[in-house]
Structure 1
Amino acid sequence: MSDFFSDFWSYYIAAIALVGIVWCVWLLFSQRKVTKVANASDDTGHVWDGDLRELNNPLPRWWMWMFLLACIFGLAYLVLYPGLGSYAGVLKFSTQGELAAHQQAQEKLQHDIYAKYLSMDIKQVAADPQAREIGQRLFLNYCAQCHGSDARGSRGFPNLTDHDWLYGGEPETIQQTITKGRNGVMPPFASTIDGKLAADVAQYVRSLSGLSSDPIRASRGESTFKSTCAACHGATGKGNQALGAPNLSDNVWLYGSSEGSIVEAILKGHNNHMPAHEEILTPERIRMLTGYVWGLSNTGGSGQ
């Protein structure tokens, strides 16, 4: 309740809360008739079903005391805890502070578990059964949404169990990717390449990986590829890990190998974003996750 644009709203909310409680107390005592004995004059005149009359009997004492104690409890709560606008309360309690305290306690409990892996090489971490189990749980919580629970990816999301890496598969590179994230951009060329020429380039690209292609169309697309695409993918289409440009000469395709899929990539481009996790995961967890991901394609890990 502390993020107000002005103090007015803080006072406004505090006033509503306090006036509401005071009004309830006033209403209670204004209706109080504890000494009056019910008689015929207490009849309000409201009758239902012929003989069911509404009387104006005094409220039971036990009910009045419970109502009054509830109002007192409400006032005491607002003094001790936040609730009156931006007033923090005598105890200075906040759910954000409580969450931070719980997180610190958990971090302390887990420190000893992670500590023994900090001095180990990431490849050694990947070979440790307990570390793999921890890494798998981290993967399922933070990575499986995009890469799948089996880490084999899907359209637009890389398979992490093979040896095809856009930026490199060394442990240090994987750790950098998890920590800082990646943003891979394939620019659109619709303004410089028409659909027919893009289809010829697609035929040439398919030929680079040994897929069936029309040799005449592929030869027409080769010159365009070398003048436009080779800057990132290389003259032979083997890619460039420094740029995150994929290898087009293997049989691994992030968006599909059909002519239509390749033409769409040429004309419309792609913009892939791998989010940074340095604000989400501690360095220790990132290290465990790195070991698990590296191990998927190097130690026979299954991702399951």
Structure 2
Amino acid sequence: MSDFTSNFWSFYVAGITIIGIVACGLLLWITSRKKVEATADNTTGHVWDEDLTEMNNPMPRWWMWLFIITLVFGAGYLAAYPGLGTFKGKLGWTQLGEYQAEVDKANAELQPLYARFEAMQPQEMAADTAAMAIGERLFMNNCAQCHGSDARGSKGFPNLADGDWLHGGAPDQIQKTIHDGRIGVMPPMAAAVGSPEDVRNLAHYVLSLSGSPHDSLKASLGKSKFTACAACHGMDGKGNVALGAPNLTDDIWLHGWGEAAITAMINNGKTNEMPAQTGKLTDAQIKVLTAYVWGLSNKAGAPR
């Protein structure tokens, strides 16, 4: 992989480019100096198929100048734009800079559209048809890839349409999650729990907290081992929003349920990341998106 990240390939391509320009210029110069002596009838003396002769007419001057202009343009382009190894070009142009300029232009054009939402609270925007239409498009373009088009998520990706929130479901908490992102870490806990049998017993105790099918005997043996988990999930297993520790007493399982899934989680741990959207979305867009996401789990009849 280092072959593709070192400067070697940049200089390799730059070298081929320069050699190509110089070689074309040299070829043009050599051929312009070479004169073919014509016969009295202005032919080169070459004959094919008994009667086809090659005329000794020079290349059109406009064609020659077009070739020269092309070479000059190529040299000028390499001087103005990146193309010679690590040389950034006299104009300082970059793909990232052009992209950012286009984004800034688009955001400036859209600013009036979001201006009417600046003074509105998320709860107000959630009841505004226009705001929710914009929020839906923002969600589809930036969130649906992980959480699904219906926002109900999948294994490893939270359901945003229910009332279960790892880091809190209040508008300011949702906005912080979208703006800054989140990193959830469940460390491997097997060493703190004990033997493999202790881990299995603990898994059954965790299942018992939510009333899921479990072995009651193993659960009773695993209860004392839950102290290793209580620092994050609480002694009652109801989780901790400040830490993003999930509630183990409900019937919502982000990474799967059952003895095998919980045992694997205790043994191996898990790291999940919600990427920050700041820099990708403007503050106004994040505000509208926050209202949309908040509204998904606060519709009439939605669990809270």
Q: TM-score, normalised by structure 2?
A: 0.82
Map of 2:282 onto structure 1: 282
Deviation at 1:165, TM superposition (A): 0.2
Could you say if the C-alpha distance between residues 84 and 233 of structure 1 is closer, same or farther in structure 2, counting changes exceeding 3 Å?
closer
| Counterpart residue identity of residue 43, structure 2 | A
**What CA deviation, in whole Å up to 9, does each residue of 1:26-83 have, x standing for no partner?**
14414565966226x325xxx8xxx599966446634x63243133144146436436
Question: Aligned ranges for residues 184-203 of structure 1 at < 5 Å?
Answer: 184-192=184-192, 193-203=194-204
Secondary structure at the aligned position of 1:127 is classed as coil
| Counterpart residue identity of residue 42, structure 1 | H
Structure 1 residue aligned with 2:28, among 25, 40, 44? 25
Could you say if the C-alpha distance between residues 96 and 195 of structure 1 is closer, same or farther in structure 2, counting changes exceeding 3 Å?
closer
Map of 1:209 onto structure 2: 210
Map of 1:162 onto structure 2: 162
Could you say if the C-alpha distance between residues 173 and 29 of structure 1 is closer, same or farther in structure 2, counting changes exceeding 3 Å?
same
Structure 2 unaligned regions, length at least 5: 1-5
Distance 2:51 2:181 in 1: 75
Could you say if the C-alpha distance between residues 269 and 55 of structure 1 is closer, same or farther in structure 2, counting changes exceeding 3 Å?
farther
| Counterpart residue identity of residue 206, structure 2 | V
Most deviating of 160-169 and 23-32: 23-32
Contact 1:14 1:83 (C-alpha < 8 Å) held by counterparts: no
Contact 2:82 2:93 (C-alpha < 8 Å) held by counterparts: no
Map of 1:38 onto structure 2: 43
Secondary structure at the aligned position of 1:61 is classed as coil
Deviation at 1:99, TM superposition (A): 3.4
Contact 1:161 1:296 (C-alpha < 8 Å) held by counterparts: yes
Map of 1:71 onto structure 2: 68
| Counterpart residue identity of residue 38, structure 1 | T
Deviation at 1:284, TM superposition (A): 1.2
Could you say if the C-alpha distance between residues 52 and 67 of structure 1 is closer, same or farther in structure 2, counting changes exceeding 3 Å?
farther
Question: Aligned ranges for residues 117-266 of structure 1 at < 5 Å?
Answer: 117-192=117-192, 193-225=194-226, 227-266=227-266
Secondary structure at the aligned position of 2:245 is classed as coil
Aligned length: 288
Could you say if the C-alpha distance between residues 27 and 129 of structure 1 is closer, same or farther in structure 2, counting changes exceeding 3 Å?
farther
Distance 1:141 1:281 in 2: 11
Could you say if the C-alpha distance between residues 35 and 232 of structure 1 is closer, same or farther in structure 2, counting changes exceeding 3 Å?
same
- Superposition RMSD in Å: 3.2
Distance 2:148 2:239 in 1: 25
Most deviating of 16-25 and 262-271: 16-25
Distance 2:199 2:19 in 1: 67
Q: TM-score, normalised by structure 1?
A: 0.82
Structure 1 unaligned regions, length at least 5: none
Deviation at 1:271, TM superposition (A): 0.8
Distance 1:224 1:82 in 2: 64
Residues 1:296 and 2:296 aligned together:
yes
Deviation at 1:201, TM superposition (A): 0.9
Deviation at 1:16, TM superposition (A): 3.5
Secondary structure at the aligned position of 2:126 is classed as helix
Deviation at 1:115, TM superposition (A): 1.0
Percentage of identical aligned residues? 41
Distance 1:208 1:84 in 2: 63
Contact 1:127 1:299 (C-alpha < 8 Å) held by counterparts: no
Map of 1:16 onto structure 2: 19
Deviation at 1:108, TM superposition (A): 1.5
Secondary structure at the aligned position of 1:285 is classed as helix
Deviation at 1:177, TM superposition (A): 0.6
Deviation at 1:199, TM superposition (A): 1.1
Contact 2:25 2:71 (C-alpha < 8 Å) held by counterparts: no
